């Protein structure tokens, strides 16, 4: 493997990690804000967050949405 390919692969890893953390931060803030709204008034997008912590819900939203960034 040449040095150029190794460098490009390392850059891709860094970009992917940055994208994951950025998406996680966005989803974490969005989910935290919606949790401040009374349960009856919350938007029910997906509806799979019942019983999950904010961290778990943000992680699940991140892993579910990241593949769409590469389509």
pLDDT-based confidence at 6, cuts 50/70/90?
low
Q: How far apart are CA 45 and CA 60, in angstroms?
A: 13
Q: How far apart are CA 27 and CA 1, in angstroms?
A: 37
Q: How far apart are CA 31 and CA 57, in angstroms?
A: 8
Which pTM was predicted?
Answer: 0.75
pLDDT-based confidence at 9, cuts 50/70/90?
confident
Q: How far apart are CA 58 and CA 56, in angstroms?
A: 5
pLDDT at 62 (0 to 100): 92
> Per-residue pLDDT tens for 51-68?
789 999 999 999 998 888
């Amino acid at each position: 493997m040449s040095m150029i390919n190794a460098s490009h692969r390392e850059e891709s890893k860094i970009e992917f990690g940055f994208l994951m953390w950025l998406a996680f931060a966005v989803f974490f803030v969005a989910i935290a804000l919606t949790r401040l709204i009374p349960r009856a008034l919350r938007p029910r997008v997906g509806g799979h967050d019942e019983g999950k912590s904010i961290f778990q819900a943000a992680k699940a939203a991140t892993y579910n949405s990241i593949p769409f960034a590469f389509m």
